[in-house]
Every structure is written in structure tokens, then in C-alpha cells.
Chains A and B, each alone.
Chain A
């Protein structure tokens, strides 16, 4: 098995430390970007859909264990996010998705799915309007995460990682 497959799991730990210590300081109206999704999307585009789905499961499990949230909600949401990002891991277009602003669009799609699925599993409220849930709890955090991922695109080395 290729050892580079484990790199995102190792990178997860510094990323989650940032996520739970520094990121809450830059929240806007309680909306917080999710750095773990950026990591997940990046490595999913590089390594394919099956890898992304399994990586989403592992990162979700670690996320739930470390943050003390409902165990399982991030597992499912990040598995779905990894699966979604996997649709953009076409070998011929990998560079296009990783090194252009398309990366932020993929992050937006994955982050919205992650936030919506997470909200559904951790806060089922039958009276809540689903569209409202998608916009408030899915789109806004997703948009913030996508904006943050622009930094990755800007500072991405031209010849590396692949």
C-alpha cells in the first residue's frame, strides 16, 4: 500500500487543532469554515472517489472522537462529502480541479453536502424548513469554507503533489 495515502490522516491532526482553536475566532454570525473538508477534497481529487469516500469516513470518525460531537454524524457527512468530491477526480482534469479556482467550487459542493447531512443527522427537527436548513446550515458554512480554500489555490505550488 502506498504510504502517501496516509498523509492526509497525519495532516488531519494539525488541521483539526487549527479548526478547534483558531477558526472559531474568525467565525461570522456563528458560521465557521471547515478546514477538514478542504483537506478531504484536496486528497480526494488527487486519489479518486473510492479513496475519498474512505478518507471521509476516517476523518469524520476522528473529528467526532476529538470534538465530542454526536459520534457518527461527521462520519456520514464527511463520507458523503468525500464521495461527492470524488466526481472531480478525473485523471485528465486533475490539474484543472486542483490548481484553478474550480477547487473552491468543488470545496463549496462538498462543504454544502457535509453541512446539510451533518445538520440532518445531528439536529433532526421535523418543523424545520428543508430549504432553510440547506441555506442556513449548508450553503453559508460551505461558502465560507470555499472562500478560505481560495488561499490553497493561491499558494499552491505549480509542480508538486502529483
Chain B
């Protein structure tokens, strides 16, 4: 018997090892969301992120000059825009005061720089150099000057992992800024789409997509992208709306974490797609 086993081992050892290692990999995938595994991962990425932050700082320095010029120009544009919005704000506050609607509170922003990027086709992930010590919590949205970058997925003391919009595990409730229609947006591996939008809904190419007030993950309107087209138009009763994100994920260097946490009360009442 032992001889037979040894014979089989000798003949097929490469395959036996391959199968055993793949089974181990599958077991590891199945325990991905266990707290102990999450702790190990947080420790591993935090330890490593400390060294990558130094290297990424060196790489980023070369781009600072051109960034500065671009930001100065953007600053000037925003200054003009703020002036106009300030006027609207005053009128808005007066009107809201007249009809008694509560105003939205200001949200704190935690600055951070990206120290590592793992941008595979399906699992876009960034590591940023701000963690729980800086006030960053799991579930907080991450933005840059172009729009929503992603959501904080895991944190350590000094670092955090951010799932970008180009991550198949991140689904968000979004809305069309013009027609106010809500939908669920996800990354398919090749494009951002808003799924299962009834064909009767008014969505057109060129519409801006922002996060929806209905979202329990990001309940403030943050820009996401622009509608580039409708797919699945001829068959079925639903459209898939393709969205081109404002953010260039390959070029993200500096971000802000928005100090906004998911509403537990809201979560208890509604489905939270982020946790699914």
C-alpha cells in the first residue's frame, strides 16, 4: 500500500502539490472576511506601507512642479466659481430659512498621499498614508480635486487601504445630477456601469453622475463621472449606463478622506450594498 502511494507520489507529485496549494488558496479566499485575517492583513500592509511611502515620496517630488502649476490654475478657476456659489449660498440660506429646512453640516477633510497602488483590472486598491491616528475610519469616502476616488476598506494606525471605484467589490448608489434618477453603480472589470436602469428613465450621454443622498456609504453629493453611453438598449427592459469616471486612478497622488461615517441607524433601516 505504502509502495503504491509512493509510486503515485513519484508519478504525480507536481500535480498533487499544485492541487493542494490551490485548495489552500481557496480556503484562504473563503476566510477573507474573518476579523483575524483582516487583522493580519492590516498589520502586513501597514508594515510594508511605511517603506513604500518613502519611495513614493521620492517619485512624487518630480511631479510636484507641474502639479503646482496645474493647481494654481485650478485655484484661480475655483476662486471664480466660489464667488458665484457664495452668492447662491446666501440666497439658498435665506430661502431655506424661510421654509425651515436644515442645512448640511460641513465635513472634515483629512489630507493624505498615495503610497502604493495595486491597480489590477478587477481589484483597484490604493494605500494612503493616513490611518486611525489621523481620524480615518472604515467606510469613509476618499476624494481628490476631480471627484470620488473610492472608499476606505481597511485601516491601521498610520495607513489605510482604499477600494477605488475600479474595484468589483465596491457598489455605490449614485444618481443622475440632471434627472435625479438613482441607480446602483459597479465596476465590471472593464467599465463603470449603472445597472438595471429601466428604459423609461431619463438618462442621456453627457449627464453628470454624483453619489446619491440615498447611499448609506456616501450620503453627500460627490462627483463621480459622466454618462458616455447606454448599453443593452435593444434587449430586455433595463439599460446599462456606462460612466466615465472623472478621476484618473493611475495618476492619483494626493487625496482627502472625507470625515463621514456610515449611518448605523440608516443601515438598520435600509440595504447596505457596500457590505454585500
Contact = CB atoms under 8 A, between A and B. Distances in A.
Interface stretch (B74-82, B101-109, B119-127): B119-127
B272 interface: no
A107 interface: no
Interface residues of A, number: 46
Contacts of A79: 18, 21-22, 25
Given A72-B28, A79-B21, A24 B117 contact: yes
B118 interface: yes
A123 interface: yes
B123 A123 contact: yes
Contact of B123 (A17, A54, A69, A125): A69
Contacts of B6: none
Contacts of A49: 14
Nearest to B28: A72
B61 interface: no
B56 interface: yes
Given A50-B17, A119-B189, A125-B168, A65 B41 contact: yes
Interface string A50-65: 1001101100110001
A79 to B, nearest CB: 5
Contacts of A66: 44-45, 48, 116
Nearest to B190: A136
Contacts of A32: 119-120
A71 B120 contact: no
Interface in A34-80: 49-50, 53-54, 56-57, 60-61, 65-73, 75-76, 79-80
A21 B48 CA distance: 12
B116 A20 contact: yes
Contacts of B21: 53-54, 56-57, 75, 79
Interface in A66-106: 66-73, 75-76, 79-80, 83, 86
Contacts of A20: 52, 116-118, 127
Interface string B113-153: 00111111111010100000000000000000000000001
Interface string B19-44: 00110111111101000010011001
Given A21-B116, A49-B14, A122-B120, A68 B45 contact: yes
Contacts of A30: 119, 121, 166, 249-250
A126 to B, nearest CB: 12
B120 A86 contact: no
Contacts of A83: 14, 18
A149 interface: no
Contact of A123 (B13, B25, B168): B168
A16 B188 CA distance: 26
B237 interface: no
Nearest to A71: B32
B55 interface: yes
A25 interface: yes
Contacts of B28: 61, 71-72, 75
A48 to B, nearest CB: 9
A162 to B, nearest CB: 22
Given A60-B25, A66-B116, A123-B168, 10 more contacts: A17-B55, A21-B115, A61-B28, A66-B45, A67-B127, A70-B169, A83-B18, A125-B188, A125-B189, A137-B190
Interface of B: 13-14, 17-18, 21-22, 24-30, 32, 37, 40-41, 44-45, 48, 51-52, 55-56, 59, 115-123, 125, 127, 153-154, 161, 166, 168-169, 188-190, 249-250
Considering the complex of A and B, which 4 residue pairs feature the smallest CB-CB distances, nearest first? Answer: A72-B29, A123-B122, A67-B118, A65-B44
5 contacts: A20-B118, A65-B45, A67-B127, A71-B37, A121-B29
